[in-house]
Amino acid sequence: MALVTAAVVEIVNEIVVLILVWTSKFQRYKNKTEELANSVPKILFFQFINTALLILIVNAKVPELNVPSNFPLLNGNYVDFTVSWYRNVGTTLTIAMIMNIITPHIAENMLFMLPAILRCIDRGCTRDIRKTRQVLQEDYEELYTGEEFQFEVRYAQISSAFFITMMFSAGIPSLYIVLIVQMVVLFWLDKRNCKIFHHDNVLFYFIVLT
């Protein structure tokens, strides 16, 4: 059950991230940096709620509120952070964090398969990386560089993982290890697969201040 719940959480996260990134293009920002900066809190807010707060609220029970028995929130089985809570809810949360290391990259790497096939065709399916059919340097760089790095998505994913870890790590110290592994995986995969476009400091300062 914990695995299924965690999987549903991650699938919903990925779908909503795609929707938020797509809809941000229609909000007519002045420049690309402003668009990215305003997308970060939306993605972060949803991922944090869906991964951490929703699981917490659904399983919490507050007798003082007299919540109706058929209401899905604050009508769970736990009035406190007990051993049973960590064994059941904590396990679901940990699995969701572990899956968060892998799931964001599944769709991305599937998208990288087509460029890889095109590069193979361009080289005549040989291992000689110097061989190419491209005439212009611009065409060559476009084919052999990765996808555009999604600053807004990565900032939101890192911030969400950090906040969730800090929120629950006192009772689930294994989240520290999961967070470290996630940061290492993000670093190496993004370094290998993505091309970077330089932005000014507005995006960085916006993330730090929020």
Strand partners, 193: none
Which has the higher per-residue pLDDT, 163 or 2? 163
For residue 47, give the nearest of 92, 2, 3, 14 by alpha carbon. 14
Which residue's structure tokens are 């998505």?
153
Per-residue pLDDT reduced to its tens digit, 198-210: 555 666 666 666 5
Instruction: Note the pLDDT of residue 180.
Output: 94
- Contact, 90 vs 175, CB < 8 A? no
User: What residues pair up with 147 in beta bridges, in sequence order?
Assistant: 194
Give just the sign of the alpha carbon dihedral 176, 106, 18, 200: positive
If pLDDT is split at 50, 70 and 90, which confidence band does 194 have?
low
The C-alpha atoms of residue 16 and residue 11 are separated, in whole angstroms, by: 9
pLDDT for 63-82, tens place per residue? 777 777 777 777 778 888 88
Integer angstrom CA distances of residue 184 from 44, 52, 102, 103, 123: 20, 22, 12, 15, 32
44 versus 32: the higher-pLDDT residue is 44
Query: Quick one: pLDDT band at residue 60, thresholds 50, 70, 90?
Result: confident
Residue 176 pLDDT > 90, yes or no? yes
| More reliable by pLDDT, 51 or 189 | 51
Which one-letter amino acid corresponds to residue 53? L
Token pair for 11: 């699938």
Token pair of 83, please? 């051993």
